[in-house]
Amino acid sequence: MPSMAPDTRYARSGDVNIAYQVVGHGPFDLVYVPGWISNIELMWEEPAHARLLRRLAAFSRLILFDKRGTGMSDPVPVVRLPTLEQRMDDVRAVMDAAGSERAALFGSSEGGLMSVLFAATYPDRTRALVTHAIYAKRLWSPDYPWAPTPEARAAEIEATERTWGGEMDISVLAPSADEAFKRRAVAYLRRSASPGAAVALLRMNSQIDVRAALPTISVPTLVLNRVADRDVKVEEARWIASQIPGARLVELPGDEHLIWAGDVDGLVDEVEDFLTGSRPAPMTDRVLATVLFTDIVGSTERASNLGDRRWRELLEQHHTMVRRELERFRGREVDTAGDGFLATFDGPARAVRCARAIQQAVRELGLEVRAGLHTGEVELADGGVAGIAVHTGARVAALADGGEVLVSSTVKDLVAGSGLEFADRGTHELKGVGERQLYAVSRV
């Protein structure tokens, strides 16, 4: 788990221990209630999931927890599944343990159901309610035509039980995500609950109906749904919002059901605006940043020797280690192409130390990585970066030897006094960039 993740604590709810974390120092408390299953420690290992949490914690004191039977919380017998009332008690126990008298609740998917009931039952402890991709009922009926039929739901549960721990199909949950994201999401789900617990919770969710509670909600409410969500239809969200007095409905672009897939920033912008009355200041399109490029030395030959399956598994381990170090050194992953990473940092010394840490980490896998860094002005567009500084960083990386961290003179000059030491690698003509003095990191 990355070192920047908060400590996991435990709240006692009846005879069950509920794992929770607190992060941020905002002016109000925000309880994040995740969907179906979760693991609050693994959340921080996925860059998109961690970004969601960091964004929420930037304007609140964020409290997150694993529902009983999932993640770091105590397991529960699948023959004695928790009721929604018990789950509400878990929210209250976590709030009490975290010293929160009143909080905004943010429930996603199945987590929204207990959030709805909590807000309706305990308005004195609920500052506001935000829901994302929630349903009020999980089985079709003539007066609730958006839910899956009992036959379709049974088939979904059977497929989940049959494929758990293997090649699960989550294309409905994140249709537009790339295959690497889907593999990580499947691994996250598998590590968040046992197959028995996961399937039992699906069965329990199929029995839930909170329609009667919707008109009784008296706190300010925001209902969010992506317009092309295939798991929870936007028409369902429209109906739910119409049943809650004064609720605001926001339809977001995208087809992802998973809250950490797709445009996370756009979603959190709506939450922040609703809870604080203002959106974050727009990000300037040009900033000073240190760009880091890495790639695996001899990857083609290694892939050929290992074969596709074993190479893919090794590459996933490599990506996990790289992302762990990026999180630890506050780097932002920009792009992943094949076996290479592009990341940006707001501090060049941390970028250099991150590059060296990545090299040391992946040696455990028998891999050698080259890295190149340059600091300059970059253009921010559509989540990516562009500009001459990016091209320069790529050219520097291409000249690095295996196991070497090569930097431009700009990086070396900016880290003066940091304790980093360099060896002169001479002047090089960088295609499309011009001459640059390059240095290899010799000591961190």
Q: Which amino acid is it at 7?
A: D
Backbone φ and ψ for 6, nearest 5 degrees, come out as -70, 165
What is the pLDDT, as a whole number, of residue 290? Answer: 94
Please, how many CA atoms are within 13 Å of residue 140, restricted to the half-sphere of its CB?
A: 11
Beta strands in 350-396 (DSSP E): 369-381, 384-386
Q: Which amino acid is it at 21?
A: Q
Structure tokens at 103: 């909080």
Domain ranges of the chain: 9-276, 286-443
User: Within 10 Å of residue 62's Cβ, how many Cβ atoms?
Assistant: 24
Nearest to residue 72, comparing CAs of 43, 40, 34? 40
What is the tens place of the pLDDT at every residue in 67-80? 999 999 998 886 66
Q: Name the 3-class secondary structure at 144.
A: strand
Find the helix or strand (DSSP H, E) in which 389 lies.
helix 388-399
* Mean confidence (pLDDT) of the chain: 91
What is the pLDDT, as a whole number, of residue 164? Answer: 87
Please list, in sequence order, all residues whose beta carbon lies within 8 angstroms of the beta carbon of residue 428, skipping any fewer than 6 positions away: 399, 435, 436, 438
What gap in Å lies between CA 405 and CA 420, rounded to an integer?
12
Long-range contacts of 77-81 (CB under 8 A, 24+ apart): 78/196, 78/197, 78/199, 78/200, 81/200, 81/201, 81/203, 81/204
What gap in Å lies between CA 30 and CA 37, rounded to an integer?
19
What is the pLDDT, as a whole number, of residue 2? Answer: 36
What is the pLDDT, as a whole number, of residue 1? Answer: 34
CA separation (Å) from 240 to 46, 207, 211?
31, 18, 8
Q: Which amino acid is it at 192?
A: S
Tell me which architecture the domain covering 286-443 has in CATH. 2-Layer Sandwich (3.30)
Structure tokens at 93: 């126990």
Which residues share a beta bridge with 435? 429
pTM of the model: 0.68
CA separation (Å) from 372 to 390, 401, 416?
11, 10, 18
What's the average pLDDT block by block, 10 residues per block, for the chain (444 residues)? Answer: 70 94 95 95 91 94 95 83 80 96 96 91 94 95 94 91 82 88 90 89 86 92 97 96 96 95 94 88 71 94 89 93 94 89 93 96 94 91 83 95 95 88 95 91 90
Burial of 360 (0-12, 13-18, 19+ CB in 10 A): middle
Q: Are 110 and 36 in contact (CB under 8 A)?
A: yes
What is the pLDDT, as a whole number, of residue 282? Answer: 57
Looking at 3.40.50.300, 1.10.10.10, 3.40.630.30, 3.40.50.1820, the CATH number of the domain 9-276 comes to 3.40.50.1820
Backbone φ and ψ for 281, nearest 5 degrees, come out as -55, 135
What gap in Å lies between CA 119 and CA 127, rounded to an integer?
9
